Amino acid sequence: MNKDVIYIEPEDDITDIIAKIENSKEKIVALVPPKKSGVLRSIVNIKLIAKSGAAVGKTVVIVTTDPSIIKLAATTKLPVTKNLQSAPSIPEDADANEELVKVAKSDVIVAEEADDDEEIAEETEEEVEADDEEDTSDSDDNDEPEEDGEGETADEDADDNKAAKDAKKDKKNAVKGKLANSKNKVLRWIGQHKKITIACAVGLVVLIVVGIWAFVIAPAATLTIGLRTTSANFSENVTFTDKAEEEKAAEGQFYLTEKKIESKAEKEFEATGKKDIGEHASGQIAVTAYLRSGSIVVPAGTIFTYKGLAYSSAAAITLAYDGSDDSVCLNKGDTASLVKNGCMVSGRTDVVAVEPGEKYNVEKSETGWSVGLDVTAYAYTAMTGGTSNVITVVQQSDVDAIAKDIQTSSESDNKAKLYDTIDKDTNIIIDSSFKQHIGDVISTPAVGEEVKEGVKPKVSITTTDTVFIIDKTKVEEFISEKAKLADNFKIYTMNDPFVENFVKAETGYTGKLKTSYTSGPKVTENEIVEIVKGKGLGVAQHDLKDIDGIGTIKIDTSFPWVMSIPNNPDKITVNLEVAE
C-alpha cells in the first residue's frame, strides 16, 4: 500500500502538521521529524496528531529513533519505525525504547485474510499428518526390548499407544471426509466446495444484517404539520393596586411593583455673568417743595436718578410749613411768589450710588435730577468715590440653561438604565408610568459668586426615576382566559402585552390592557406521535386530517422503501408550523 512521507520542518507548529495530515491523499502518512524536534516532544501534540489521523481515517507513523518521541508515541499507541524501509510498530513499553510490538499494516492484513480460507484445509491435513508421524515415532520407540519384570508394563503402554493412534486416525478421517463423503448431496457439495460455501455464508449474513438495518434500524419519519391559526386583537379595561393583598389578577386587578433608580449628573459650563465689585460713589442731594401748609416726607431709600444713574437716599427728609411763619420760606422776600406758589421749603440727605463704578462720579448740578415725588431735587454736592472692578460671576440664566440640558440628556439615559434592571421575560413595564423627579440644582460656585480664573463652574443634579411593572405571567393567563377559546384550541403566539391610558384613580390606578395573539388547534408533538406511530403513511395522513385546525401534512421517510411510520417514538420527528 502506498504511503505519503511528510518531512516536518523546524519552523512547523502542530497546526501545520495536522493540516498536512488532513490534506494527504494516502491512507498511511509517515512523519519524519528533524533532529531535536520540539513539536513532537509534547504529549499534547502527540495526542492531537493521533486524534486528527483517526478523524480522517489515516494511519500516522512516526519515523524516528529518538527515545523521548518513542516514549510519548507508546502512550498514544502511535506506530513508530526506525526508517522508511522498516515495518511500523507500536512501542510496547515506554521505557523500553528498542522493543516494539509489530503492528500489521492494513494491506498485509487484507492479504493474510484472503489466504486464510485456502490454507484452512491444508493446515488441518498437515496437523493430522504430523500427528501420524508422531505416532509412528512413538511406535518405533516402543519396539525396543524391555527388561525382565517390566514386560507387562511395556505391553500396557503399547496398547495405550495403539489406541491413541487409532483415535487420531479417526479424527483425520472425520476432518477429511465428514462432508465430502456424506450421503446427502447438499452436504457433499458443501464439503467439496468449501470456498464457495464460505462466501455464500458470509453473503447471507451480510444480507441479513443489511435487511435488519434497512427495515428495523434505519426507518425513520419526519412529519411537518401545518397548523391553521387565526389572529385576534385583545383590549380590556383593567385596574391596578399598589397593595399586594388587594391583587385579583383573575378579575383584572394587578399588583403594581415600583422600580426606581437614583443618579447624579454633573456638567461644566461657561459663566457669562459680570459684576462690578468696585466702590460706590456718594454725595448729598437737596430737595425743595412749595407748601401752603402741611408737610411732605421723602423716605430713606428713595431713588434719585440723574442721566440714567440711580442713587439711594440714606435718611428720610421732612418738608413742613404751618402757614403762619413765612420766615422759614426760601422765597420769604418774594411776595408775588409766596402768593402764587406758596412757601418754598427744602431739605438735604446723603445718597449712595446703587452700583459701584466710576460712571457714578458726577459734578454738582441743580438740574437733571428727578425723583418720583412732588419735590424738586438737585445735587447739593458732587458725587465722588466711585471705582470699577468687573469680575465674572455665575448668573441664574447660566444655571437654568445647563440644568435644562442635563435633564433632557439624562432622562433618556436614566430611563434606559432603569429598564435594563427589569427582567422583561417575567414582567411588563407600564411605560406611561415612568416619572423623573428632579432634585436640588446645585451650582458651584453659587449664583452671584465670582468664578476664579482657571476654574470651570459646574451644575450637579440628583434625579430619581421610577416606573411601575406588573407580573407578565398573570397578565397572559388573564388574557388567555378572557379570549374564551374553544376547548380544543389554544393561543400559540402572543405579542408583548402593554398598558395604555394609565392614570391614577380615586382608589389605585386604571388603564387599558392591549395585545394581539394567534390561536390554533390544541395539539402537541407527543400527541401527534401517539396518533401515527406504527401506521401506514396513508392511514397516518387520514387520521391527522380528522383533527380540527390541522392544514398541510407532509411525511418524509428516511428511505424510499419505508412505507409506514416506525413504532418507536424515538424514530419519529414532528415539526409543528404555525401559519396565519
| pLDDT tens digit sequence for 269-323 | 888 888 888 999 999 999 999 998 889 999 999 999 999 999 999 999 999 998 8
Q: If you ran DSSP here, which 8-state letter would residue 222 be given?
A: E
How many Cβ atoms sit within 10 Å of the Cβ of residue 314? 15
Instruction: Please report where in the chains the cell 512547523 appears, as a residue.
Output: 12
- Give the pLDDT score at 353: 96
Question: Which set of grid coordinates corresponds to residue 70?
Answer: 518513542
Look at residue 214 and tell me whether its pLDDT is greater than 80.
no
C-alpha to C-alpha distance for 322 and 343, rounded to whole angstroms: 10
Residue count of the chain: 580
pLDDT, greater one: 50 or 123: 50
pTM: predicted TM-score of the whole model, two decimal places? 0.45
For 24, 78, 203, 249, 319, the CA distances from 59, given in Å and listed in that order, are 11, 9, 29, 69, 128
Rounded Cα–Cα distance for residues 104 and 89 (Å)? 8
Q: What is the pLDDT of residue 183?
A: 63
Name the residue among 488, 550, 544 with its Cα closest to residue 221.
544
* Residue pair 73/91 in contact by the 8 Å Cβ criterion: yes
Q: How far apart are CA 64 and CA 39, in angstroms?
A: 13
If you ran DSSP here, which 8-state letter would residue 242 be given? S
For 167, 384, 449, 475, the CA distances from 356, given in Å and listed in that order, are 145, 11, 16, 70
125-140 pLDDT per residue, tens? 444 344 444 444 444 4
Scored b (16 or more CB within 10 A) or e, 167-201 reads eeeeebeeeeeebeeeeeeeeeebbeeeeeeeeee
Q: Which of 50-59, 353-362, 458-467 has the highest mean pLDDT?
A: 353-362
> What does the pLDDT look like over 313-357, one tens digit per residue?
999 999 999 888 888 898 888 888 888 989 999 999 999 999 999
pLDDT of residue 181: 62
Mean pLDDT over 395-418 rounds to 84
Query: Taking the CB of residue 447, how many other CB atoms lie within 10 A of it?
Result: 16
> Greater confidence, 67 or 349?
349
Q: In the prediction, which pLDDT does 558 show? A: 77
The pLDDT of residue 283 is 96
The pLDDT of residue 210 is 67
- Write the burial class of residue 383 (CB in 10 Å: 0-12 exposed, 13-18 middle, 19+ buried): buried
Residue pair 154/190 in contact by the 8 Å Cβ criterion:
no
Range ranked top by mean pLDDT from 99-103, 242-246, 401-405, 547-551: 242-246
As a whole number of angstroms, the distance between CA 3 and CA 26 comes to: 6
Tell me which range, 215-229, 474-488, 555-569, is most confidently predicted by mean pLDDT: 474-488
- Predicted confidence at residue 267, as pLDDT, reads 86
Could you count the other beta carbons within 10 Å of the beta carbon of residue 442?
15
The pLDDT, as a whole number, for residue 483 is 85
Q: What is the DSSP string of 163-198?
A: HHHHHHHHHHHHHHHTTTT-SSHHHHHHHH-HHHHH
pLDDT band at 471 (very low <50, low <70, confident <90, very high): very high
H or E segment at 59? strand 59-63
- Which helix (H) or strand (E) covers residue 320, if one does? strand 317-321
3-state helix vs strand vs coil in the chain, percent to 5: 35, 35, 30
What is the mean pLDDT of the segment spanning 3-11?
A: 87
5-14, 235-244, 382-391: which range is least confident on average? 5-14
Q: What are phi and psi of 307, to 5 degrees?
A: 55, 45
Q: Where are the beta strands (DSSP E) in 367-523?
A: 369-370, 376-379, 390-393, 427-444, 458-471, 489-494, 498-504, 509-521
Q: Can you give the pLDDT at residue 423? A: 94
Q: What is the mean pLDDT of residues 414-421?
A: 90
Q: How confident is the model at residue 580, as a pLDDT?
A: 58
Average pLDDT (239-252) is 92
pLDDT higher than 80, residue 161 = no
16-55 as b/e, with b when 16 or more CB fall inside 10 Å?
ebbebbeebeebbbbbebeeebebbeeeebbebbbebbee
Burial of residue 450, with CB atoms counted within 10 A of its CB: 0-12 exposed, 13-18 middle, 19 or more buried: middle
Q: What is the pLDDT of residue 270?
A: 87
Q: How far apart are CA 15 and CA 247, in angstroms?
A: 64
Between 87 and 136, the more confident residue is: 87
Average pLDDT of span 447-469: 90
Structure letter (DSSP) for residue 536: B
Query: Among 201-215, 475-489, 549-563, whose mean pLDDT is lowest?
Result: 201-215
Q: Element (H or E) spanning 290, and its range?
A: strand 282-291
Q: What proportion of the chain, given as a percentage, has pLDDT over 70?
A: 81
Residues with Cβ within 8 Å of residue 356, at least 6 apart in sequence:
276, 277, 278, 279, 280, 386, 387, 388, 389
Q: Which pLDDT band, with edges at 50, 70 and 90, does 170 fall under?
A: low
Q: What is the pLDDT of residue 174?
A: 53
The pLDDT score that the predictor gives to residue 173 is 53
Averaged pLDDT of the chain: 81
Distances (CA, A) of 91 to 48, 66, 71, 78: 18, 12, 8, 8
Q: Inform me whether the pLDDT recorded for 176 exceeds 70.
A: no
d(CA 555, CA 542): 12
pLDDT at 182: 61
How many whole angstroms separate alpha carbon 175 and alpha carbon 550?
70
**Which alpha helices (H) appear in 286-370, and where do they start and end?**
335-341
Burial tier of 116 (Cβ tally within 10 Å: 0-12, 13-18, 19+)? exposed
Q: Please compute the mean of the pLDDT values over residues 75-103 and round it to a whole number.
A: 68
User: Which of 200-204, 528-532, 533-537 is predicted least confidently?
Assistant: 200-204
Report the run of H or E that residue 399 belongs to, with start and end.
helix 396-420
* Exposure on the CB side of residue 403, measured as CA atoms within 13 A: 17
